């Protein structure tokens, strides 16, 4: 099986890919768009993308792509995120002038970084930043402990995130829906007319059918300021009769409606 992830070897997404699909061929790609592209073109079987973090919330870039692209969430996984301060082997803490970190890592380690005098440089791929610090005696990066082992670097400090209870929810994207298991989750996106009461109307069939909604978030609609699309997680599989009937009724109240996936539930 071939599995794509965004980043370089040592990234958290690679760790999640290895955990979800052991013994598979794990393929790094440059961007989240590339993950979707590789799956769409059949270059890989599935792609691994981060969906939301327990400290900083949803990952907007991947949420937007899920809402726009014709691929499906077919699995979810949860990974504990432990950020490390990583340097070349000869670097001491007092030598560090610049720290490279993914924007999400910066947000998750804000309290730690606020206490430092070093320049913080936002770097999209923490694993790729390893190459920049290998031969640099005044730089460090924040990232997964695997980066150090993959690139022969040193972990100067372990567990620098603001909370020890730091988790990221990941999704596997593919072109198929798994069969119902009896413990599933469905993710959908929808839009309603920008008029009073329309969101209430759209959610009514779910309430009437006693469908538990575990997440509801809004996303701005491009070129329509102050108008929003919604993404929701519901308990149940899209092929469960009760949920299927509720979604059919709900669709009638929506200007746009799309099921993004139904998959075994790992998180609430």
DSSP state of 180: P
Burial of 82 (0-12, 13-18, 19+ CB in 10 A): middle
Mean pLDDT of 247-260: 97
For the chain, the residue count is: 268
Q: pLDDT value at position 83? A: 96
The pLDDT > 70 percentage for the chain reads 98
Nearest-angstrom CA–CA distance, 97 and 117: 8
- The pLDDT tens digits of the residues spanning 158-213 come to 999 999 999 999 999 999 999 999 999 999 999 999 888 999 999 999 999 999 99
The label of the residue with tokens 């890592």 reads 105
Q: Which of 103, 146, 145 is nearest to 123 (CA)?
A: 103
Burial of 69 (0-12, 13-18, 19+ CB in 10 A): middle
- Kindly report the backbone phi and psi dihedral angles of residue 48, in degrees, each rounded to the nearest multiple of 5, phi listed first: -105, 125
DSSP state of 209: T
* SS3 letters across 133-155: HCCCCCEEEEECHHHHHHHCCEE
Both tokens assigned to 63: 């949420």
User: Can you list the domains of the chain with their CATH numbers?
Assistant: 2-80+167-174 (3.40.190.10), 84-158 (3.40.190.10), 185-262 (3.30.70.260)
Q: Is 245 helix (H, G, I), strand (E, B) or coil?
A: helix
- The pLDDT tens digits of the residues spanning 15-72 come to 999 999 999 999 999 999 999 999 999 999 999 999 999 999 999 999 999 999 999 9
Give the angle subtended at the CA of 75 by the CAs of 74 and 77, to the nearest 5°: 160
* DSSP string covering 188-208: EEEE--SSTTHHHHHHHHHHH
Both tokens assigned to 24: 């598979």
Q: pLDDT value at position 126? A: 64
Torsion sign over Cα 163, 186, 198, 63 = positive
């Amino acid at each position: 099986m071939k599995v794509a992830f965004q980043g370089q070897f040592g990234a958290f997404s690679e760790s999640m890919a290895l955990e979800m699909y052991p013994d598979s061929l794990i393929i790094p790609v440059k961007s989240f768009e590339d993950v979707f592209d590789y799956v769409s073109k059949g270059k890989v079987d599935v792609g691994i993308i981060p969906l939301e973090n327990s400290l900083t919330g949803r990952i907007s870039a991947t949420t937007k792509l899920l809402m726009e692209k014709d691929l499906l969430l077919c699995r979810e996984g949860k990974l504990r995120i432990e950020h490390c301060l990583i340097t070349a082997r000869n670097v001491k803490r007092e030598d560090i002038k610049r720290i490279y970190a993914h924007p999400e890592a910066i947000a998750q380690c804000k309290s730690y970084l606020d206490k430092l005098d070093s320049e913080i440089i936002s770097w999209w791929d923490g694993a790729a930043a390893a190459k920049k610090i290998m031969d640099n005696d005044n730089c460090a990066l924040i990232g997964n402990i695997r980066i150090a082992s993959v690139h022969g670097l040193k972990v100067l400090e372990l567990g620098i995130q603001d909370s020890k209870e730091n988790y990221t929810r990941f999704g596997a994207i593919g072109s198929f829906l798994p069969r119902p298991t009896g413990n599933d989750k469905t993710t959908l996106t929808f839009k309603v007319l920008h008029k009073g009461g329309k969101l209430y109307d759209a959610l009514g069939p779910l309430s009437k059918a006693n469908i538990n909604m575990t997440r509801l978030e809004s996303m701005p609609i491009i070129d329509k300021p102050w108008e929003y699309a919604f993404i929701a997680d519901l308990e149940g599989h899209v092929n469960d009769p009760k949920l299927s009937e509720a979604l059919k009724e709900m669709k009638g109240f929506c200007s746009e409606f799309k099921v993004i996936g139904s998959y075994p539930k790992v998180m609430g």
